[in-house]
Each structure stands twice: as C-alpha cells, then as structure tokens.
Amino acid sequence: MTPNFRHLATIFAVTSLVVLAALAAERSSAPQVTVTYLANEGVMIDCSGQKVLIDALFRDSLENYMRHSPEQQERIETGKAPFDGVRLALATHYHLDHWDAGAISRFLNNNPVAVFASTPEATAMLPYGLRERVRVLRPKPGSPAQVGAGAVTAQAFRLGHDHTPNLGYRISICGKTFAHPGDADDSDASFRTLMQAGPVDVAMVPFWWFLNPTAAEFLTQRWNPRQMIALHLATNDGAYAEQLRKKFPQVWVCTKQGEARKF
C-alpha cells in the first residue's frame, strides 16, 4: 500500500500543535514569582506566600541612597502585610544601606519562624538570644554555602566588594532561579564565580554594571539571564536611570519604591 504522505503530514502537524499547546498551558500554569523593589538593593521575592527578603533590613542607609519610609520600616520589622510570613531574610554584607543589626533583631523577634543568614561579620553583631535562627554562611571558593526555609533554597558564594566581605546569592523558588550579587565588583573574578554558580532566570545587579562595557557584555552575551533588574540607584541618579532605560529597554531599572513585577 502506498502511504498517503499528505495524510501523514496532517497528522504530524496536528500532533505538533497539540504538544505545543500542552507546553504553553504548562508554562502558563506555573506559579508566578513577584519581585518587589524596596530600596537600594533591597527586594522581596514572593511566590504563593513563600517570601524572601534580600538586603531589606536596614535603617539609616548611606549618603544619598534611599531609606524606607517610617511606615514601610515598621511593616518590614514587625511582619505586617505585605511582609507577613517571610521565612528567609538574607544580607549580602554589613554596610548600612544593606544591613542594620537593630532592624534584623526586631524583625526576628516579630517573626518567630523566620531565619536570617549572612556573612560571619554581619551575623556576629546580632544578639546571642537569636542564635538559633541565624545562619552563618562561610562559602569556600568553588563550593557555595546552602541555606533554606520552607520551599525556598539559596546558594551563597563569595564575591569581592573592595575589602568588605560580600556574598552573592542564587535563589531557587517555585521552579525559577534568581541571582543577587550584592555590591560585587564588576570584575573577571566575579564573572567567573557567577558562571560557575549556574544559569539563572532573573539577575538583580547593581546598575553600574550596565555602565561598564565589559560587565554589560558579560550580562547580555555570556551570562545572559532571561530577565535583568538594575538596582542601587541613589536619589540623585535620575540621569543614570534614563540612560539605562534608553540603552537597555529590556532591563527593569528600579527607582520607584514599592514597584512590583511578576516573573
């Protein structure tokens, strides 16, 4: 019997459409992850109530970098909505625009199931009575430290920041991965470490990386996350923000506190 190639082609086309539709439905049904920009490099990641704070527990800040409003500060430290139920809080380093021992201590006292993790230097300045919910992260070169809470896991790796101990994080939540390098130097050493940590869906990096042609090439060509977020613009960095939005229209340039996007 001579095969009916037109009939076979029709079956193949229909089958392909069914498979593609199934894949699209699977993607659309996957939980969305919301990132809320708070200030400086402070963000909250939330997926179906699994919430992570990164560099959000600070108070005074530095120079022209942003501060939380008094109302926002109170909600963050006391666990009021939308910051209720936070299970994991991370700090990349102990500079005051990223970290404050008083804010962290009050947050932990008001959130009895939460865990805080950071460098030995950042955790050493917290009260002894909170030690059971503080994780000291000591990653070695090529060997990330691990921390998790609930359904969220994070890998921590060392990234240079002048002479300040600084951690980068690769966070897994709801099947997606997010990277936050803190104030990491935009150097070859940082690039190598991030490549070793693995690919990510969303990268949240200091805005000045995009202003450095070498770092911008690394972000857009070599590391190439699916989506990117530019953080740490100060209150007087409006010109930089406009420059970035024109040159990198695909990047979310964070200047509006409380703005949130889904990924």
Residue 162: the pLDDT is 87
| H or E segment to which residue 31 belongs | none
Number of neighbouring beta carbons within 10 Å of residue 192: 11
Q: Is this model's pTM higher than 0.85 or not?
A: yes
3-state secondary structure of 10: helix
142 close to 134: Cβ distance less than 8 angstroms: no
Full pLDDT tens readout for the chain, 263 residues: 445 545 544 554 545 454 445 444 445 567 999 999 999 999 999 999 999 999 999 999 999 999 999 999 999 999 999 999 999 999 999 999 999 999 999 999 999 999 999 999 999 999 999 999 999 999 998 899 999 999 999 999 999 998 899 999 999 999 999 999 999 999 999 999 999 999 999 999 999 999 999 999 999 999 999 999 999 999 999 999 999 999 999 999 999 999 999 99
- Which residues lie below 8 Å from residue 77, measured CB to CB, with a gap of 6+? 57, 103, 106, 107, 110
d(CA 179, CA 194): 9
d(CA 2, CA 8): 12
Amino acid at 227: Q
Domain boundaries along the sequence of the chain: 31-262
Residue recorded with tokens 């229209």: 249
d(CA 170, CA 156): 7
Residue 9: the pLDDT is 47
Residue recorded with tokens 């506190």: 257
Task: Considering only the C-alpha atoms of the chain, give the largest distance between any 2 of them, rounded to a whole number of Å.
Answer: 83
3-state secondary structure of 7: helix
DSSP class of 226: S
d(CA 131, CA 158): 22
d(CA 47, CA 88): 13
Residue 262: the pLDDT is 97
3-state secondary structure of 242: helix
Gap between the terminal Cα atoms of the chain: 52
- pLDDT tens for each residue of 81-94: 999 999 999 999 99
- Beta strands 252-253 and 227-231, pairing class: parallel
Closest alpha carbon to 171 in 260, 82, 77, 54: 54
Residue 7: the pLDDT is 54
DSSP class of 139: P
Residue 30: the pLDDT is 73
- pLDDT tens for each residue of 155-182: 999 999 988 999 999 999 999 999 999 9
d(CA 202, CA 73): 26
CATH of domain 31-262: 3.60.15.10
